Amino acid sequence: MTDNATAVRTDRVTAVRDAAYRIRHHVLDMGEVQGQGYVGQALGVADLLAVTYRDQLRYRADDPHWGERDRFLLSTGHYAIGLYAALAEAGVIPVEELETYGSDDSRLPMSGMASYTPGMEISGGSLGHGLAVAVGVALGLRLQANPARVFTFVSDGELDEGSTWEAAMGAHHHRLGNLIVMVDMNALQADGKTETVLGIEPAHDKWASFGWFTQRVDGNDVEALLDAFDRAAAHAAPEGTPSVILCDTRIGRGVPLLEQREKAHFMRIDEHEWQACRDQLTAGYAGSVNA
């Protein structure tokens, strides 16, 4: 790498790490409003959201409906707490509004819905829908010669649903090179560990056998994520194969107190613990910056 390229790279990594820290902070603030929620998942995917919103997506914060924006489809509606944090980081919604999260008449309901929130492209929550809709968006954009790409966020649990695989076949059949899927492989579902609920491994081989350009990375390694997204972007073509990035993430990442929680799917966090969580997050972040 040239000195200039190295500097650019360092700037990208720093920008994403800073964004991920702020996203995590927003998530904890929102979680405190409710006292509980899908906080663990949101912390786990903060790096992924930071790479997406800080580094990859083309959008206009003041014009969420800009026609050429890259679409970000959140199939997992319950991850909305994470996406709201990312949308605040992106400037699409005001940071102050986050404190209304999950309250009556808020634009930020607990499950993400397109009709409520600027920047929310679809109503998820019933799982296994996002990829099918993404196929339609990708087909529609290509038909209209729109260069926008379709980033779709799904969870490993959604790989249980047959509808996800129908869409995966459709995307490859239609050569949707403008479609990039990220899968949160956090290995946890509502009833327990993914491997005990319904085994989905070898996930990489499954996607690859469906014809997708398949990568698997540590979803909490910002540099690895950047490389994977860069490779997916380089691979993208109007008549290419769709891309999937399987991201192994850790529930509660960045807050050791929550990383160790046994009951992690829908976390209950005591009133006195929130500040400790924020302190741990900040200490960890400061440590990584100084390292």
Partner 1 sequence: MSTVKDGAVTAPRLKTSAMIASFADPGQKTAPAPFGRALAALAETDPRIVGLSADLSKYTDMHVFAKAHPDRFFQVGMAEQLLFGAAAGMAETGLVPFASTYSVFAARRAYDFICLDIAEPNLNVNIVGGLPGLTTGYGPSHQATEDVAIFRGMPNLTIVDPCDSVDLEQAVPQLAAHAGPTYLRLLRGNVPTVLDEYDYTFELGRAKVVRPGNDVVFVSSGLMTMRALQAAEALAAHKVDVAVVHAPTLKPFDEATVLAELDTPRLAVTLENHTVVGGLFETVASALVRRGLTRRVVPIGLPDAFLDAGALPTLHDRYGLSKAAIVERVLEELR
Which residues are near partner 1 by CB under 8 A?
33-36, 77, 102-105, 109-111, 113, 116, 123-128, 157-158, 160-162, 189-191, 196-198, 266
Q: At a CB cut-off of 8 Å and minimum separation 6, what does 33 contact? A: 99, 100, 101, 102, 103
Closest contact distance (angstroms) between CB of 102 and partner 1 is 4
- By beta-carbon proximity to partner 1, the closer residue of 35 and 238 is 35
Question: For residue 184, what are its two tokens?
Answer: 């949160």
Place of tokens 């634009």: 107
Question: For residue 250, what are its two tokens?
Answer: 């850790």
Give the DSSP H or E segment for 168: helix 162-173
- C-beta of residue 153 within 8 angstroms of C-beta of residue 78: no
154 forms beta bridges with 183
- By beta-carbon proximity to partner 1, the closer residue of 32 and 70 is 32
- By beta-carbon proximity to partner 1, the closer residue of 57 and 200 is 200
Closest contact distance (angstroms) between CB of 104 and partner 1 is 4
Q: Is the peptide bond before 202 cis (omega within 30 degrees of 0)?
A: yes
- C-beta of residue 21 within 8 angstroms of C-beta of residue 228: no
- By beta-carbon proximity to partner 1, the closer residue of 116 and 210 is 116
- By beta-carbon proximity to partner 1, the closer residue of 160 and 221 is 160
Closest contact distance (angstroms) between CB of 218 and partner 1 is 24
The separation between CA 127 and the C-alpha centre of its own chain, rounded to angstroms, equals: 15
The separation between CA 24 and the C-alpha centre of its own chain, rounded to angstroms, equals: 13
Closest contact distance (angstroms) between CB of 103 and partner 1 is 5
Closest contact distance (angstroms) between CB of 161 and partner 1 is 6
Closest contact distance (angstroms) between CB of 222 and partner 1 is 29
Closest contact distance (angstroms) between CB of 25 and partner 1 is 20
Closest contact distance (angstroms) between CB of 281 and partner 1 is 23
- By beta-carbon proximity to partner 1, the closer residue of 59 and 101 is 101
- By beta-carbon proximity to partner 1, the closer residue of 15 and 197 is 197
Helix axes 3-34, 273-290, angle to 10 degrees: 170
Backbone φ and ψ for 185, nearest 5 degrees, come out as -90, 70
Closest CA to 267 of 178, 198, 186, 175: 186
- By beta-carbon proximity to partner 1, the closer residue of 198 and 289 is 198
185 forms beta bridges with 248
Helix axes 162-173, 130-143, angle to 10 degrees: 20
Running DSSP on this structure, what letter comes out for residue 202? S
